[in-house]
Amino acid sequence: MEADKNKQPERKSLDDRAKMTELERVRHSCAHVLATAILRIWPDAQFAAGPPVENGFYYDVELSHRISPEDFPKIEEEMKKEIKANHPFEKIMVNREQAWEDATKGRLAALAERKVPSKFKLDIVQNIPKDEPISYYKNGDFIDLCAGPHVMRTGNIGAFKLTHVASAYYKGDERNPQLQRIYGTAFKNKTQLDEYFKMLEETKRRDHRRIGVELGLFVLDPEYVGPGLPLWLPKGAAIAEELEKLAKETEFAAGYVRVKTPHIAKEKMYQTSGHLPYYQESMFPPMELSLDPASKAEAERNLNKAEQEFDEVMGRMKRAVSGETLTKITQVLHLNVRQGSKPHVLKTVQETKLDVPPELYAEALAKQRTFDEAKRGLEVEKYYLKAMNCPHHHRIFAAQPRSYRDLPLRLAEYGCCYRYEQSGELIGLLRVRSLNMNDAHIYCTPDQFAAEFNAVNEMYLKYFKIFGIEKYVMRFSTHDPAKLGQKFVNEPELWKQTEDMVRQVLVDSKINYLEVPNEAAFYGPKIDVQVWSVIGREFTLATNQVDFSQPRNCGLTYRDRDNTDKTPLCIHRAPLGTHERFIGFLIEHYAGNFPLWLAPEQVRVLTIGDEEPLVDYAKAIVQELRAHMVRAEGDFGTDKINGKIQRAEEAKVHTMLVIGPRDMQAANVSVRVHGKGNLGAKAKAEVIADILHAIKERRA
């Protein structure tokens, strides 16, 4: 049995497998017990791989019966029997021939020999390296091809539960058969299992989708707007505005210039950049601009006229020739009529050196050109919604002659892109179809590259500090020299050069990074930044890519010192990723308890009662705060103060200023901070000054 993670095509070595933790052994063993139980119910089940995973285990099975959660109790019942029987997990060493024979007899991942071979196991046996020993594990009648390790006995599986079914392709390849993946989890004892499910409940409560709705940050309106197209409500938009402000300030200080570009572009744009057909699947289908009726009618008239004139000339040509030449021309003309085109006739005339009168040939050629032109007049223009900003930025680069003195040129834009993610892929704000990217493209010379790349990394670290992100990994994706010219542009020197430069920067800045071969973009190495929200969900937030291909495809050049034109390097970078994903992350990161500078509602002023002087005093405070761009609201109604506080706390308002007669008389406000409770009465002026200060320095 294989513990392959489909992302990692390299086999796990036996040493690696031996490192399996105690809990992983429990889960891996439970997968075997699951297979045992399924076989008791459905003896013809074919098993593929059943490894332990992060929160449990799964086993991939091929079975004509569709397993649904309704089957779980029945399967779990059988599993319990197997655990109760307390069979030992026996390790059996076999040679290759034996394994092959048993798999052929259907004995592997089975309770007995079967008429049909254990087909996936056959495939797995074949893929075990020659020098690696082969072993089985046996519990009761169940024998599985498996490198182990396992717990001693089935009874050592303390507590387990099947959780869900999913479909998965064998080895993660969609050309392979589709299998049913049964997921479950197991623990050493019932207490830990219960804790795990309690934790899952907690996770659900902190999910950005739930908090997003509760706090009124965004909504999805699949019926009217469309799936994956979030609407930012005022409170969510406030967060987006703060992030943009942060980005603008940071980028301005780092020498970026801001640009603005349209959301659509012509087909030619993406043909040139190389995204079509490479990226077409991920783009919305194009808009085709049909001609207005009058122009269309005129274009059609032109085409008809051109066609008649062409046919007339060809008619004369046919009359002027004879024999084989006539036959040939007639044949090709006939073919062309069926294809709705004309040019082939003249090509044939030229290529086969047919003997036609030169002046007629020249006339026909001219008419053919008119025909082609008329035909182009009927072509519709295609526009695509942009899936990325780079081509637009490239056009800005190309808009004026560039000198080496202009570089580095750093074009920044919070551009809204649209990606046609598959319907099953959409997840709340994590994967959407409209995305506002914290995008920028840095055009530079090779000499400037290291400094620019380093500056980008420093920007990431600066942001991590502001948001208190401590756990992160930079995944440095490099190319595979064996796939140059296929998966990666064929520029061995540039690959080596840029990858070395990037690696050096990473090492020098002591950044926590992980090198992943063979995962680069087709146009250059890249870095993805992975972070984890407090509930353990992984987010790929930011990306940082080196591009030495697009600038050349798009014909971008700068005039260098030596008066020659050179192609710049381009760095694509998006430290804050997209609003959608970043805010989704922040919601879970802060569990909705945003720091003051980010909080949608920063301050709420609550009055004790609704007596007029008190309300006037409170209103003046709200006004003063709002005059300083603080998002402050008031709650001046007749509710009891406890009720007002409860509502403010539930709305996760950062700072509550409670005002009663006592406070007013002393020119005070009573401060209450969300999650910190009552901080007592303080001088109004002091409190306001502190609020402004905390916002300005983006205090955590």
Partner RNA sequence: GCCAGUUUAGCUCAGGGGUAGAGCAACGGUUUUGUAAACCGUCGGUCGUCGGUUCGAAUCCGACAACUGGCUCCA
- Min CB(424)–RNA separation in Å: 2
Residue with smaller CB distance to RNA, 213 or 265: 213
Residue with smaller CB distance to RNA, 174 or 493: 174
Q: How far from the centroid of its chain's Cα atoms is residue 436's Cα? A: 13
CB of 657 closer than 8 Å to CB of 670: yes
Cα–Cα distance between 605 and 653 in angstroms, integer? 10
Residue with smaller CB distance to RNA, 27 or 367: 27
Residue 234: asked if its preceding bond is cis (omega within 30°), the reply is: no
Cα–Cα distance between 71 and 54 in angstroms, integer? 24
- Min CB(349)–RNA separation in Å: 48
What residues contact residue 592 under an 8 Å CB cut-off, 6+ apart? 206, 211, 214, 215, 652
Cα–Cα distance between 487 and 478 in angstroms, integer? 12
CB of 559 closer than 8 Å to CB of 404: yes
Burial class (CB in 10 A: 0-12, 13-18, 19+), 279: middle
- Min CB(582)–RNA separation in Å: 9
Residue with smaller CB distance to RNA, 142 or 539: 539
What's the full length of the chain, in residues? 700
CB of 35 closer than 8 Å to CB of 6: no
- Min CB(170)–RNA separation in Å: 9
- Min CB(43)–RNA separation in Å: 21
Residue with smaller CB distance to RNA, 28 or 526: 526
Which of the 8 DSSP states describes residue 88?
B
Query: Which residue, among 389, 445, 441, has the nearest Cα to 410 in the 3D structure?
Result: 441
Residue with smaller CB distance to RNA, 344 or 682: 682
- Min CB(63)–RNA separation in Å: 11
Cα torsion 595, 600, 603, 606 to 10°: value is -130
Phi/psi for 568 (5° steps) reads: -80, 160
Residue with smaller CB distance to RNA, 167 or 512: 167
- Min CB(622)–RNA separation in Å: 17
- Min CB(474)–RNA separation in Å: 11
Residue with smaller CB distance to RNA, 139 or 185: 185
- Min CB(660)–RNA separation in Å: 2
Cα–Cα distance between 172 and 325 in angstroms, integer? 59
Cα–Cα distance between 211 and 530 in angstroms, integer? 22
Per-residue three-class SS string for 194-206? HHHHHHHHHHHHH
Residue 227: asked if its preceding bond is cis (omega within 30°), the reply is: no
DSSP bridge partners of 565: 559
Cα–Cα distance between 118 and 2 in angstroms, integer? 14
Residue with smaller CB distance to RNA, 494 or 651: 651
Residue with smaller CB distance to RNA, 69 or 401: 69
CB of 30 closer than 8 Å to CB of 150: no
Residue with smaller CB distance to RNA, 103 or 656: 656
Residue with smaller CB distance to RNA, 349 or 432: 432
Residue with smaller CB distance to RNA, 54 or 508: 54
Please report which residue ranges of 387-445 form alpha helices under DSSP H. 390-398
Cα–Cα distance between 509 and 505 in angstroms, integer? 6
Residue 277: asked if its preceding bond is cis (omega within 30°), the reply is: yes
CB of 186 closer than 8 Å to CB of 159: yes
CB-CB neighbours of 99 under 10 Å:
22
- Min CB(55)–RNA separation in Å: 9
The DSSP H or E segment spanning 291 is: none
- Min CB(483)–RNA separation in Å: 13
Residue with smaller CB distance to RNA, 377 or 661: 661
- Min CB(658)–RNA separation in Å: 4
- Min CB(191)–RNA separation in Å: 24
- Min CB(519)–RNA separation in Å: 7
Cα–Cα distance between 331 and 318 in angstroms, integer? 11
CB of 267 closer than 8 Å to CB of 276: yes
Which tokens is 362 given?
């020249």
- Min CB(578)–RNA separation in Å: 4
Residue with smaller CB distance to RNA, 305 or 640: 640
Residue 408: asked if its preceding bond is cis (omega within 30°), the reply is: yes
Q: How many C-alpha atoms does 363 have within 13 Å on its Cβ side? A: 14
Query: Which residue, among 648, 646, 693, 584, has the nearest Cα to 239 in the 3D structure?
Result: 584
Query: Regarding beta strands 90-94 and 134-139, do their DSSP bridges make them parallel or antiparallel, or are they unpaired?
Result: antiparallel
Residue with smaller CB distance to RNA, 319 or 640: 640
- Min CB(408)–RNA separation in Å: 22
> 395-405: string of b/e by CB count within 10 Å (b at 16+)?
bbbeeeebebe
Burial class (CB in 10 A: 0-12, 13-18, 19+), 28: buried
DSSP bridge partners of 513: 474
Residue with smaller CB distance to RNA, 311 or 639: 639
- Min CB(577)–RNA separation in Å: 5
